[in-house]
Amino acid sequence: MAISKKAGKKTAPKSAGVTKVAKADWKEGFKKKQAGVSDMTLLTTIDENNINTNLQKRWTVGEIYTYIGGVLISVNPFKDLGIYTDETLQKYKGKNRLEVPPHVFSIAESAYYNMNAYHENQCVIISGESGAGKTEAAKHIMQYIAAVSGGEDSSIQEIKEMVLATNPLLESFGCAKTLRNNNSSRHGKYLEIMFNTHGEPIGAQITNYLLEKGRVVGQLENERNFHIFYQFTKAASDEQREQFGLQGPDAYEYISRSNCLEVQGIDDSNDYADTLNAMGVIGLSNQEQNEIFRMLAAILWLGNVRFEEMNDGNSAISDTGITDFIAYLIEVDSAMVQKVLTSRVVETQRGGRRGSVYDVPLNPAQATAGRDALAKAIYNNLFEWIVSRINVSMKARSTSAQVIGILDIFGFEIFEDNSFEQLCINYVNEKLQQIFIELTLKTEQEEYVREQIKWNPIKYFNNKIVCDLIEERKPPGIFAALNDACATAHADPAAADNSFVQRTAMLSSNAHFEARGSQFLVRHYAGDVMYNIAGMTDKNKDALVKDLFDLVGSSGNQFLQTLFSDRPDPSSKKRPPTAGDRIKASAGALVDNLMKAQPSYIRTIKPNQNRSPTEYDTKAILHQIKYLGLQENIRVRRAGFAYRNTFEKMVERFYLLSPSTSYAGEYTWQGDAKSGCEQILKDTGIAKDEWQMGVTKAFIKNPETLFALETMRDRYWHNMAARIQRAWRNYWRYKNECARRIQRFWKNNKEALEYAKVRDYGHRVLAGRKERRRYSLLSYRRFLGDYLDVNGQNIVGSDLRSACGLGAEQATFSSKVQILVSKFGRSSKLSPRFLVVTAKAVYIAATSQKDGQIQTSLERKIPLVTIKSISMSNLRDDWLALNCNASEEGDPILHCYFKTELTANLLTLTQASISVLIGPSIEYAKKKDKKAQIQFVRDETIAKDDAYKSHAVHVPSGEPSSSTSRPAARRKPGIVRPITQGKLLRAGGPSDKGKASRPKPVAQPLPGKSAQVAAVRPTPVAPKSAPAPSTHISVPPPHKEPEAELYKAKFAFEGQEGEISLRKDDTVELVEKDENGWWLVRKDGQEGWAPNNYLELIPPKPKAAPAARSPPPRPPPPPSAPLAVAAAPIPASSASKPTVSIVSVKSLAADASAKPVAVFPGLAPSNGSAVPWKKSAVVSANGSSSSTPASSRPSSSLGVKPPPVAPKPKPVPPPVASKPSGSKPSLKPPIPTAPRPGAGVAPPKVSKPSAPAGQMDLAAALAKRAQKIADE
């Protein structure tokens, strides 16, 4: 059984010729399959039934989100699906909507991305019925933006926390349970989150729309008041209960009348804690919170004030204890509270008693209405104050760049009894539907016509006629008729209602309006709604009587005074705005704000009226599909264009994608914005049917195309980053290779010099005294010292170190030797040993075999201080004796091939305190008191080395004692390898035609942007050498100019800095030849280097008769010194005194004692010192030095041409020309070329200095090149 690639699993070996089919995985059947289509523009048949079927399929399996292009359709699941976690949120971060399934997070990501990318304000419009999930969608959008918008600053984090804290706070005060929704928004809000240029939130602002304050004093059966009342009465602290006389919710008429104190899924106590926490996050002080709850308590107690009818029909307060407590809460006189609630002050405006004031008692119905009006006014103003207080806390911390708006507003409502509140709510929804139609249907089709785009028109219902029916002044609409009825019959609400009934008859001409006595019907886009006129004019007036304002004005509570700070002026004759006026103005302002931003849409659908997670009401959903216009939306989306923008914006966003419009990140298109935009779309390879060019805009059909453009743009920056990284890595590879070559050269030469020093010292010790072996005089002989690698990891060396017990001591010399061993009764003979020398002693070790194993043991240790002398013969043998102090073992007699090195090593360790005795014999102590001699006899019959027998060594003749080491062998010439290899080197060479280099275009200002001066690096132009001054005072005779050699380019060559670019068959003029294979040539007045294997000599033409030349102008007096090889530019002030430069030439040599210097391309030496290998400066006549080298190219004594140019196998040449000289000194030296002989006497010819052989030449070339680049 063999282990397969799947770790741990075993498979049977395959039988030959049998193909085994992989078994299907049963788990694949349990993978979640997509239900329906995620984007309904892909539906095969577009009708309302197919749309409903697709939504039902997805809703049944928990897929509540579906797209229509960029519009998100959301069907309320009425349960927690667990799809709003942080893990899910991260999946949508940075993704476009096609990469991930439909989700509200995708809409939030799109708005946030577009704001940052296009620098345009964004808004998210959430619409749908009450209970369809609008508030939840808005909360999740805020959750996403807070999570992805970044920002580590404490103020940014504070803004995020405040934005999220507005949800529980405004839900408590602005939401309530209705028959259709347990958390229905009874107000509208438009939250604007402000961002800085980095996309970080710096502030926010909330605009409130039409709080349903009537809910404070009355609700339908099984509905509830605002959540805060139930939270407050259930979870208030004991201190609050004591201070405000607070009791349970069932004790208060305003919140218990509808018989709904508990709601499934709502925990009022927990929500109260969240509300208090949100107040703290927003920044409400304890005093402010206490005043808010005081007002709530006052409202609750106001609802418990009951009126009883007296005999005269007037009202009286049943329990004055309640009014006394209300007076305590709002800090007014108790008697005044009772008076205001039971009577009204009336001032006559007409008749003979104009200006008379009367106290008119109220009946119980009128008194109840006055009480409710006061409660509604307090709560409405309290809610407005909370919103304004939130805005103060969330005020922008810095300048705002862009805004994302989130609209969470009440949904369309149809009840059994619909009144003024439903009219206002449905009117606002009509306005939102009108925006949707304007931006997605009507405006889009009008724009196609205006921009002359080919397009198939789509029919749709335009609800502008319904909006005009409600809001128009001429002819008067519903709001105008209400205002007129209030103005003509302001005293009696019933009379005002009757007046309004009469005025509705004038609206019957509108097909969407139908008057039915005390009711009227409006055919809204969402369905027909029957409105009840009773009480509608009074609600439209929405004004407190003067008595109630006077009551508030007499209060000692400053917070209550603040809530009613905008009390109307009683002396003003101007009619105060009605509720209809205010809602119309608010809706108009909302529309203006939304039209200034780029909208995103979320259309919410309510699947049933029972809030059931399993019931799907097909009839109700078909109705919503119809009035939301989803069918028309799909048709427009499929027939139209998903994205459009002006040519200028398109070019600004995507000019990087085309090489015709950009170069290295700069905009270079010189045509108009339209042609540039068209060029971009062509160069990106987008099919022609995917885009159209309008008059002022470009249109892109599918969002996939736009996403592809965005992906290409993102990839462009990634590619640029990769190119920069690749260039940086090439630079470091180049730098490291330079460093390695310099280090290698330095080590080789430095170590070689050190070894040579040791060898020379050994030669000096034996010089003139002892014949030498021929192999000892070879040039490559090095005194390495530790031949047995005792200091390394070698096995033999490790055994020796262990046997000798060296410990941390380092060996300075180790080698195999033979030692003369005397045996009793026998003649002495040589025996192999190991010799190790340290700074303290000489160790002699021997190997022996014991039990079949070879062991190494220390035989003798000789301290260096005991060695008095070293005895050697004067012949060419390898024998020596270490003469020690008298010892029992005697003096060791060694036969060592490295005797000279051993002797030099011992002398170095002992500071030459050991004497070296050289003679015809060696005298040694055989034992402590027994001396012996070994005689050395010259014997030419010995074929190799020497021979020992009976105290005599026979040795053949050797090299004379005066011999010195042979000179260093000349190294074999080789090719200098290129330093860099990689993708940065451009293609080209004799085998293929190189492409002509693309000239860098001039950067252009972006369309619509102010022109900016583009920083263009000037191309260096080689200035012509100034003619050298003549050495003759008189005018020389006409001189015949020698004809220059002309060459033809055999191949195209793409030059870099300092080189010249050639096209095939270009003709150039030869200026200078260099031995390294590069020639200096001139073409069209410019000079540069080119490879000589690319050039072919053009045969000279037959000479014609020379034409007469005019004599040159009279030169200045000649200098006394010889002419310079290269004349530098002479300032005008010193033209009369020309300077003469003298070229000083030295050979190059490495200094072993010099410190290593790191010299890299483009960088000066790190230690500030000069480069050790560089030519001496050119010294001028006045003593100043010039850094101009004697040759403008790195010379090479190798005498070979470089390989073909395609992989760039040459060092990068220095720049050809210096920058134009003027008042500023030139940064780069000019090419040091001698002037041509034509001004009289030809200048002296200076030969190039020859470089040392071997590696010294490479080092000189590298150092000279590095110095040139550093000087630049």
Distance CA 481, CA 473 (A): 9
Catalytic residue among 131, 133, 989, 1088: 131
CA of 713: how far to CAs of 199, 220, 653, 706, in Å?
19, 57, 9, 11
Question: In 3-state terms, what secondary structure has residue 1235?
Answer: coil
Omega before residue 1112 within 30° of 0, cis:
no
CA of 723: how far to CAs of 51, 459, 715, 1174, 1207, in Å?
49, 52, 12, 34, 19
Distance CA 939, CA 1269 (A): 64
Instruction: Write b or e for each residue in 243-267: b if 16 or more Cβ atoms lie within 10 A of its Cβ, otherwise e.
Output: ebebeebeebebbbebebeebeeee
660 included as an active-site residue: no
185 included as an active-site residue: yes
Catalytic residue among 38, 66, 76, 135: 135
Nearest alpha carbon to residue 41 among 484, 458, 642: 642
Catalytic residue among 54, 185, 555, 871: 185
Strands 952-955 and 930-938: parallel
Nearest alpha carbon to residue 625 among 52, 1127, 127: 52
Strands 598-605 and 122-128: parallel
Nearest alpha carbon to residue 626 among 59, 129, 63, 41: 129
Distance CA 982, CA 737 (A): 13
Catalytic residue among 38, 106, 130, 172: 130
Q: How far is CA 741 from the centre of its chain?
A: 37
Contact 422, 609 (CB under 8 A): no
130 included as an active-site residue: yes
Distance CA 433, CA 1269 (A): 70
Catalytic residue among 413, 678, 771, 859: 413
Catalytic residue among 303, 411, 1055, 1240: 411
Alpha-carbon Rg for the chain in angstroms: 52
Distance CA 792, CA 782 (A): 19
Q: How far is CA 22 from the centre of its chain?
A: 44
Strands 201-209 and 188-195: antiparallel
Distance CA 165, CA 389 (A): 13
411 included as an active-site residue: yes
Distance CA 130, CA 182 (A): 10
- With tokens 């304004």, the residue in question is 388
Question: Rounded to the nearest 5 degrees, what angle is found at the Cα of 168, between the Cα atoms of 164 and 171?
Answer: 125
Contact 370, 149 (CB under 8 A): no
Catalytic residue among 181, 440, 537, 873: 181
580 included as an active-site residue: no
Strands 829-838 and 879-884: unpaired
Contact 946, 877 (CB under 8 A): yes
Distance CA 568, CA 586 (A): 20
405 included as an active-site residue: no
Distance CA 328, CA 340 (A): 15
Q: How far is CA 1036 from the centre of its chain?
A: 70
413 included as an active-site residue: yes
Structure token digits, residue 1135: 């033209």
Catalytic residue among 184, 225, 440, 463: 184
Question: In 3-state terms, what secondary structure has residue 1257?
Answer: helix
Distance CA 816, CA 832 (A): 7
Distance CA 32, CA 1016 (A): 59
Distance CA 229, CA 247 (A): 11
Question: In 3-state terms, what secondary structure has residue 258?
Answer: coil
135 included as an active-site residue: yes
Distance CA 206, CA 59 (A): 33
Structure token digits, residue 871: 């005895």
Among left, alpha and beta (phi > 0; psi -120 to 50; other), residue 452 is left
- With tokens 């090299």, the residue in question is 959
Distance CA 494, CA 536 (A): 10
**Which residues are tagged catalytic?**
130-131, 135, 181, 184-185, 411, 413
